[in-house]
A and B are shown apart, each in its own frame.
Chain A
C-alpha cells in the first residue's frame, strides 16, 4: 500500500520536475502528454488504493523529515476513506483538466511552465489530501498556495493579472498565518503533530483550548476557501487561465479549507462555540457569494462568486457537525463547478476572449457542442431536483436546521435563501449566454475551437449528473457514501431528523427551486432582463463593496505608511544624511588636492626645504644643549 501512495504523489512531482527542468524546450505534445500521463498514473494509483483500502484506516510512515529532541515530523500518510475519496476526486478532475488544458493552451508558448505548475499543484493537493502530519499537511498547503499564485499570474506580462496573483497570495497568507499558529498550538497541546496521535489524545483538551484551536483552524480555512472576510482574492483569481480556475479555484484548492476542517473535525467538534462560528462564517459567505454572483457580468466571476457561495455550504455543514454532508457537497461541487468552468473556457475561446455574458447570446445555435454540458452543469449547480448537487445541498440544509439553538435556524434561513438565489444567478447567466436574442452573436464571429474540448467534458457531465447516486436518501444504494465514511470520528450516517422532515424539506426546496427557475426564465428570457435597478446592480457587481472597503481600510493606510517610510524616512532622512556626509568629505579632499600639484620639481623643492628645516632644528638643538 505504501508503494501505491508514494507513486500517487511521485507521478505528478516527476511530471512537474520534468517539465520544469526542460526549461521550455520540451516539444508541445510531449509536455502536455507527460503532464497528463503523470496525473493518469496518480488516478490509477488512487483507484487501486481505494479498492485495496476497503473501509480500513491506514497510517503509512515513510521517512522522518524533521527530528529535533522531542519534536518530530515525518512524511506520513493517513489513508482513510475520507482521504481515499478526496484523492480519487482530485486525481480524476485533475486528469480531465490536464487533457482539456492540452487543447486550451494550444497556442500559448509557455506550455512547459504551465504544465509544470499544474503538475506541482496536483502533487501539493495530494499532499494535503493524504498527509498525516500537520507539518507535512502545511507543506502541501503552501504548495497549492504557491501554484495558485503562479498560475493566477500566469500571463504575468499583464500587470493587472500579476497583481491579481499577488493579491491572492497576500490574502490567503493572512489565513495561512493562523493555520501556522494552530499547528504550533497543537504541538504545544498534544506534543505531536500527527493527526492520528491527536485523534487519540483528545481527552485532556480543555474547552478553551479546543475553542481557540477550532477558531484558528477556521481562520486558516477562511483564507484558502475564500470565506468571509477573506473572500476578495477569489474573484480576482479569475485572471488565470480558465482550466486553472476550474482546477484550483473551483474543484480542489478552495475546498482545501473545508477539507482541513473535516480532517480536524474531531478537534473542532469539541467546542460548540467554534462550531457555531464555522457555521456562521459558512452561512454568511453562502449568502454573500450568491448575492454578489447576481450582479456580475463576467462569466468567470459569476462562477467565482458561485464557488464562494458553494464552499460556504461546505463550511456551514462542518459547522452543523455534518462532515459527511460537507464532503458530499465538496464532491458534487468539484464535478459540476469544474464542468461549468471548462464550458466557460470553451465559450470564452470561441468568442475570442469575450467574458461579458451580455455580449454573448445565440450560443445554443452557434456552439451546440457545449450547450448540453453547460446545461447539465447549471442544473447541478442550481440543485435541480434529483440530480447533482440537490442531495448534498439538501443534506446540508437539513443538518443546519437540526443544529442546536435558534442561531442555527438563522443560518438555515440564510443558506436556504442562498439556495434559492443559486438558480437565479446561474440561469441569468445561462439565458444570457445561450438564448436567441437580438444583439447576440452571429456565426461569423465564432472562432473554431477543438471539439475535443467539449467531448472531454462528458465524463464530468455524466458524473455530475449522477452524483446523487453516491448517497441516495432511498433505494438500493441508500447512504452509500455516508456508510463508507462512518469510520470517521464524528460522522453521523443518518441525520437524526424526525420522520417526514427529510422528505418534506426535499420536496419543499425542490418545488421552490423549480419555481425560482421558472421565475428566472420569466425575468431573463429573451430579449433580456425585465427590470433595471442600477444602484442595486452596482452594489452587487462590486461584491457588496467589500473589495473597496478593504482597499480603503487596509491598502490605502498601508500605502501611506509605506510612502512615509520610503520618502520621508529613507529618502529624506537616511539617504540625505549619507549624501551630505559624502559631500563634506568631497569638499575636504578637494581642499587637500590643491597640495598635490603633480610637478616633480615642486616636490623635490619641498623635500629639500623640509629636510633643511628638520636638520637645522636638530643642529640648533644639539648645539644649544
Chain B
C-alpha cells in the first residue's frame, strides 16, 4: 500500500462529514439524497483500504454489495422524489411536516 492507511481513513472521514453536512444542512430532497450517497462512498472507501491493508477479499466483496444497495436506493429514492414532486409540486423537505405531533 503506497498511501498510509491512516491517511485513507482521514480522507474517508472528511468525505463522510461533508456528506453528512450536506444531508443535514440542505432542504432539497435531491441534495439530501446526494449527501447520503457521498456518505455511502466514504464508507466504501474505508472498506477498500481496509481490504488492502489486511490483504483480505471480503472488504472488496462488501463494496460490490454496497454499490448494489446504493444503486437500488437511488432508484427508489429518486422515484419517490419524482412522485411527490408531481403530487405536491415541492421537493423541499420542510414542507412535509405532516407527522407533527
**A585-614 interface mask toward B, CB cutoff 8 Å, 1 = contact, 0 = none?**
000000011111111110011001000000
| B5 interface residue per 8 A CB criterion | no
Apart from the given pairs A595-B101, A598-B96, A608-B24, 16 other A-B contacts in the complex at a CB distance below 8 Å: A592-B101, A593-B101, A596-B99, A596-B100, A597-B100, A598-B97, A598-B99, A598-B100, A598-B101, A599-B93, A600-B32, A600-B93, A600-B96, A601-B24, A608-B20, A608-B23
Q: Which of A593, A596, A604 contacts B23 (CB 8 A)?
A: A604
B-side contacts of A594, CB under 8 Å: 101
Contact across chains for A599 and B32 when beta carbons are under 8 A apart: no
| B98 interface residue per 8 A CB criterion | yes
Contact across chains for A601 and B93 when beta carbons are under 8 A apart: yes
Bound CA span A151–B27, Å: 76
**B18-42 interface mask toward A, CB cutoff 8 Å, 1 = contact, 0 = none?**
0010011001000010000000000
15 examples of A-B residue contacts, CB within 8 angstroms: A592-B101, A595-B101, A596-B99, A597-B97, A597-B100, A598-B99, A598-B100, A598-B101, A599-B97, A600-B32, A600-B96, A601-B93, A604-B24, A608-B23, A608-B24
Given contacts A608-B20, A608-B24, contact A600 B101 (CB under 8 A): no
**A563-580 interface mask toward B, CB cutoff 8 Å, 1 = contact, 0 = none?**
000000000000000000
- 7 tightest A-B CB contacts, nearest first: A598-B100, A596-B101, A598-B97, A593-B101, A600-B93, A598-B99, A605-B24
Interface size classification for chain A: 10 to 19
A-side contacts of B99, CB under 8 Å: 596, 598
Closest B residue to A606 using CB positions: B24
Contact across chains for A600 and B94 when beta carbons are under 8 A apart: yes
Bound CA span A597–B32, Å: 19
B-side contacts of A600, CB under 8 Å: 32, 93-94, 96-97
B-side contacts of A593, CB under 8 Å: 101
A20 to chain B, nearest CB (A): 56
Bound CA span A594–B99, Å: 12
Given contacts A599-B93, A599-B94, contact A604 B101 (CB under 8 A): no
B58 to chain A, nearest CB (A): 23
Interfacial residues of chain B within 65-101, with CB under 8 A of chain A in the complex = 93-94, 96-101
B-side contacts of A608, CB under 8 Å: 20, 23-24
A-side contacts of B97, CB under 8 Å: 597-600
